[in-house]
Amino acid sequence: MAPRAPKADMSTRTLISPARLARPRGRLVYWTCFALVVVLFTLAFLGPLYWMASSGLKTTQEAVQTPPTWVPGSLHPENYGRAWEVMDLAKLLFNTAYYAFGALAFQLVLDVAAAYSLSRLRPVLGKAILGMMLATLMIPATVLVVPQYLTVLDVPIVERNLLNSPWAIWLPSVTNAFSIFLLKRFFDSIPKELLDAAAMDGAGPVRTLWSIVLPVSRPILGVVSIFAVVGVWKDFLWPMLTLPDPGAQTLNVGIYSLATSVPENVLIAALTIASLPTLLLFLLFQRTIMGGLTAGGLKG
Amino acid sequence: MSAPALAKEPAVGAARPPHAVEPGPRPGGFRRELRRNLTAHGFLIGAVLCFSFFSWYPMVREFLLAFQKTEDGRTTWVGLDNLVKIVNDPAFGQAWLNTLWFTLLALVLGFAVPFVLALVINEFRHGQGYLRLLVYLPVMLPPVASVLLFRYLYDPGYGLFNEVLGVFGVPAQPWLQDPDTAMLSVVVAATWMNMGGATLIYLAALQDIPGELYEAAELDGAGLLRKVWHVTIPQTRLVLSLMLLMQVIATMQVFTEPFLLTGGAGPEGSTTTVVYLIYQYAFNFNDYGAAAALGLLLLVLLAGFSAAYTRLSRDQDADA
């Protein structure tokens, strides 16, 4: 958990030598390349998003017209309203948020507690338990989907069927060995003196966790939280299998299942609406998200 | 949330043989240690239960299922029957070839493109924040939005891609509707959707390269490509190999993109992947045994990559 690498600034030396860039010809080449790259990147990454937002404004006819129009001939914002109604996006958005933030709550409580125990309380067999948790990272996730699905249909011992229940998302989301690993590694790095001082003052483990460990762990908690929410938000196969009921579906699954029954322009408008929450989240928490990618190891 | 977890605490303590607890040095150390362990396991129990039900038990079950058959509610051992059955399925060979083809294409595009993008972004003294933001933007989209958007862009009639190609005089392509181009189209979409993470990870690795190395290479008269080959790549080798392994592991399990883009099988089965085949066995034909057997094959194949990844990332941790 090294601190974030400093951002490249003027003094950072890269492939091309600063001396060459300083020459008039170098500067010309630099700015030409820069302009070209900015334009290309914008076209490649914002272009499709523009296409999505603008096609959502076209009439059904114009949306499926050959050749396509670059700019909508007439604007029909009411497509967005129709998409919202027809696909019941409010319901889908609510469901997805409910699953995502519920999963976040479960992960924050259970995984943080587990990581704290493994890092600081070190119970007997703790190492073995951690090892078994990390071993799950070696198993390809898609291979486990079938037995996990069968487990959800009939959870052993408690004999419950979790199909169409939020628990089918929440409980399996806790088995995020990578989060536990990240949290444990961060807790390991907290100076011992800090915790010893708390123990001297008579603080028990719960109190130490709450008032000492958690406050200093805010960066890693932010990373783990965002990836927990985004993970559920982006998941497709698992919610498709475990939440088949239309009233319980997530955004991804709900839109997919209605995709062929609505006109193209309405579908595209729905896609635009569906994209907004995570894009907004990204713009708000850019630093945490992009920093977490590298600070938290290698999980793309 | 810790209340139910703590309530379970005595059960765990009781299940453990008392001799497992090492006596402490002070008088009363045993009870102290016991208490400490009970508390510690109390903190652990919630996660352990979740892992037991939704991770460890399914792992065991995957192995059992692969050698079992369930008919009319009766489960019997069938040995290697499931394995024989899936190997003899005509879709078996095609699914593996398609998956390998996807992995190969995804490596060419998804491994090389992010590295080049990172190299380019890293050279600029301006606008890095904007470029990084752009590259990562697609990663944040819900897959259904990006995939259905690509399906719209790929449409041979009203799609944007053929329109753009037309501007350059390239004839219209059938994209997803032709067995020859379907998989490539899936890979292009998947790369666009997923390469942001890799690019940012490479970028961070590039920024850790000491500038003196480039200076030294220049003194030896190295040009741009030689500097990349002799400085940049060796300096980022560990990250590159980790990403390579991770990408193989991820792309061999591809499901969502072809499933949403072509319905899974694609024209003439050209986008049927191994995981899609598993999905079909399990959820279209209710043949969990066959699904588990195929899953086991995939697991065995990827185990080597996973082990290599684990070793390498340990090295990386040691370096850090």
To the nearest whole angstrom, how far is the Cα of B198 from the nearest Cα of chain A? 6
More confident residue, B311 or A179: A179
Task: For chain A, positions 142-181, list CB contacts with chain B under 8 A.
Answer: 142-151, 155-156, 171-172, 174-175, 180
pLDDT at B8 over 80: no
Residues of B in contact with A171 (CB under 8 A): 50, 53-54
pLDDT digits (tens, 9 = 90+) for B50-106: 999 999 999 999 999 999 888 777 788 888 888 999 999 888 999 999 999 999 999
Question: Which residue in chain B has the smallest CA separation from A154?
Answer: B53
Mention every residue, 6+ apart, whose C-beta is less than 8 A from residue A68. A55, B158, B159, B160, B163
Q: Which two tokens stand for residue B211?
A: 């500038």
Closest residue in chain A to residue B297, using alpha carbons only: A143
Cβ contacts (< 8 Å) between A256 and chain B: which residues? 144, 148, 260
Q: What is the pLDDT of residue A192?
A: 87
- The structural domains of chain B, ordered by start, are 2-66 (no CATH), 84-319 (1.10.3720.10)
* 3-state SS, residue A202: coil
Whether pTM exceeds 0.90: no
A146/B63 Cα distance (integer angstroms): 11
Taking 50 as the threshold, does the pLDDT of residue A211 lie above it? yes
CA distance A31 to A199: 59
Nearest to B158 among A13, A65, A111 (CB): A65
Mean pLDDT of B183-200: 91
Q: For the segment A157-209, what is each residue's pLDDT rounded down to a tens digit? A: 888 899 999 999 999 999 999 999 999 999 999 988 888 888 888 888 888 89
Average of per-residue pLDDT across B21-41: 73
pLDDT at B7: 36
pLDDT confidence bin for A1, thresholds 50/70/90: very low
Confidence of residue B10 (pLDDT cuts 50, 70, 90): very low
Mean residue pLDDT across chain A:
88
* Residue A10: per-residue pLDDT: 43
- Whether B9 has a pLDDT exceeding 80, the answer reads no
User: Is the previous residue joined to B138 through a cis bond, with omega within 30 degrees of 0?
Assistant: no
Which residue does chain A place closest to B41, by CA atoms? A123
Per-residue pLDDT at B317: 66
* Pick from A81-85, B71-75, B100-104, B141-145: least confident: B71-75
- Residues within 8 A of B (CB atoms), A 243-262 only: 251-253, 255-256, 259
Q: What is the mean pLDDT of chain B?
A: 85
In this predicted structure, the answer to whether residue B241 has a pLDDT above a threshold of 70 is yes
| Range(s) of chain A covered by CATH 1.10.3720.10 | 87-261
Q: Please give the average per-residue pLDDT across A47-61, as a whole number.
A: 91
In A15-44, the residues whose Cβ lies within 8 Å of chain B are: 15-17, 33-34, 37-38, 41-42, 44
Lowest-pLDDT range of A26-35, B126-135, B184-193, B307-316: B307-316
The minimal CB distance from B1 to the residues A110, A148, A230 is found for: A110
Report CA torsion sign: A218, B203, B197, B128.
positive
pLDDT of residue B319: 60
Q: What is the largest CA-CA distance in chain A?
A: 76
The reported pLDDT for the residue numbered A8 is: 44
Q: With bands split at pLDDT 50, 70 and 90, how would you rate the model's confidence at A12?
A: low
Distance (Å, whole) CA A184 – CA A120:
9
Whether the pLDDT of residue B18 is over 70: the answer is no
Q: What does the pLDDT read at residue A276? A: 94
Q: What confidence score (pLDDT) does residue B320 get?
A: 52
pLDDT tens digits, one per residue of A93-129? 999 999 999 999 999 999 999 999 999 888 989 999 9
pLDDT (0 to 100) of residue A195: 85
Residues 6+ apart with CB under 8 A from A276: none
> For residues A16 and B122, which has the higher predicted lDDT (pLDDT)?
B122
> Is residue B306 predicted with pLDDT exceeding 90?
no
Range ranked top by mean pLDDT from A66-75, A83-92, A195-204: A83-92
pLDDT score recorded for residue B71: 77
Cβ neighbourhood burial of A57 (10 Å; 0-12, 13-18, 19+): buried
- B-interface mutation test, from A43, A99, A110, A148, most B Cβ less than 10 A away: A110
Question: What tokens appear for A180 in the block?
Answer: 């536990």
Across chain B, which distance is largest between two alpha carbons, in Å? 88
Q: With 80 as the cut, is the pLDDT of residue B42 above it? A: yes
Q: What is the CATH number of domain A87-261?
A: 1.10.3720.10
> Tokens 């060459």 belong to which residue?
A20
DSSP B111-128: HHHHHHHHHHHHH-SS-H
Condensed to tens digits (0 to 9), the pLDDT of residues B105-131 reads: 998 888 889 999 999 999 888 888 999
Q: Are B200 and A287 in contact (CB under 8 A)?
A: no
- pLDDT surpassing 70 at residue A295: no
Q: What is the pLDDT of residues B257-295, one digit of tens each?
A: 999 998 888 888 888 999 999 999 999 998 999 999 999
